[in-house]
Amino acid sequence: MWNHINAPLKEKVDILAKNPYRFYIGQNVWAHRNSRQKILEDYLNEAIALEDFELCQKIKEVKTFLSFVNNHKTKRDYVFILETEETMWDVEVRYYLKKEDNLLKLYKTNDTNEEFHNCDASLEINDYLSKKDVIELLENHFEKWREFYGLPRFRTEGLIDEKEFYTMVDSIKEKRDHYINKAKELKTPFIDFLEKANLDPIPNGKNEYQWLAKCPYSKGKHHMMVSTKNNTYGCGWCKKKGNQRDLENYFKEGN
């Protein structure tokens, strides 16, 4: 409610980023969404007076984000979300939300290439859009690419801060571990067969049925997907799919 009216500036800015219907500026006094820009402008001046430039940057990102959501004029067409370090390639990656028509699209840049890369993920703009939605969008993105790139490390705060970032990473790891354990519980004879064939099957943590194994068609150069739901495999590189019988036949042919 109004417990935050004497809270530090950053806390109040964080509450505003959640785009609440009512934002209390005093006891029983609250501001509608159309006055958020004015409030943030005042906070920005306070942060400038405090010489807290990190907070100034944060306020600017929240201001831009809310101006997209609440249809206010703004000079920028993007919000900086955060900068991460990709653990696999050692590059710094910056994430942005860019306004395109009625969508906020997720883009990234990295230090080897300043161009915006489309991440193929977006949020539809509506009155209720909040920082929570942005966190969810990014979490899904990290989760989707975890297998290929691993999980990133935190570098610099934008709309999202370090604490929010690591909450996201912990939730991804928890989900992964849950599915890995579940997959092991639901292990089928097909997995035993792949083990005996030295294809080293491992659960990939995406759901309770998905495993990865060395692809025999490429002599183990890459992985193929295995599902214990129907006990089938598929390799997108080699354009091969089938079941245990198909693999047995392939091995019998002397491969």
φ and ψ at residue 15, rounded to 5 degrees = -65, -40
Stretch that binds Zn ion, among 81-89, 140-148, 182-190, 217-225 (CB under 5 A): 217-225
User: Restricting to residues 25-64, which ones interact with Zn ion according to CB under 5 A?
Assistant: none
Nearer to Zn ion, 202 or 238 (CB): 238
At residue 173, the 3 state secondary structure works out as: helix
Which of 215, 226, 228, 233 contacts Zn ion by CB under 5 A?
Answer: 215
* Binding-site member from 218, 227, 231, 244 for Zn ion (CB under 5 A): 218
Task: Give the whole-angstrom CA distance, residue 187 versus residue 209.
Answer: 8
Torsion of CA 189, 190, 195, 199, to 10 degrees: 180
| Cβ distance to Zn ion smaller for residue 71 or 243 | 243
If the CB atoms of residues 30 and 217 are measured against Zn ion, the closer one turns out to be 217
Non-local (6+) Cβ contacts of 181 within 8 A are none
Q: Please report how many Cα atoms fall inside a 13 Å half-sphere around the Cα of residue 124, on the Cβ side.
A: 1
Where does this chain touch Zn ion (CB under 5 A) — which range of 54-62, 133-141, 157-165, 232-240?
232-240
**Span interacting with Zn ion, options 82-90, 110-118, 144-152, 227-235, rule CB under 5 A:** 227-235
Dist CA 134 CA 142 (whole Å):
12
What is the x/- site pattern for Zn ion, positions 162-201, by CB under 5 A? ----------------------------------------
Give the angle subtended at the CA of 75 by the CAs of 49 and 99, to the nearest 5°: 120
Give the bridge partners for 226, in sequence order: 211, 233
Residue (172 or 225) nearer to Zn ion, CB = 225
Burial group, residue 213, by CB count within 10 angstroms (0-12, 13-18, 19+)? buried
Min dist CB 227 to Zn ion, Å, is 16
What is residue 20's three-state secondary structure? Answer: coil
Minimum gap (Å) between residue 214 Cβ and Zn ion: 9
Q: Does 212 bind Zn ion (CB under 5 A)?
A: no
- Quote the least distance from Cβ 200 to Zn ion, whole Å: 14
How far, in Å, CA of 7 to CA of 9, rounded? 6
238 scored as a contact of Zn ion (CB under 5 A): yes
Interaction residues for Zn ion, span 77-106 (CB under 5 A): none
Position 237 contacts Zn ion (CB under 5 A): yes
Name the segment binding Zn ion (CB under 5 A); options: 15-23, 66-74, 183-191, 212-220. 212-220
Q: Using CB atoms within 10 A of its CB, is residue 172 exposed (0-12), middle (13-18) or buried (19+)?
A: middle
Applying CB under 5 A, which residues contact Zn ion? 215, 217-218, 235, 237-238
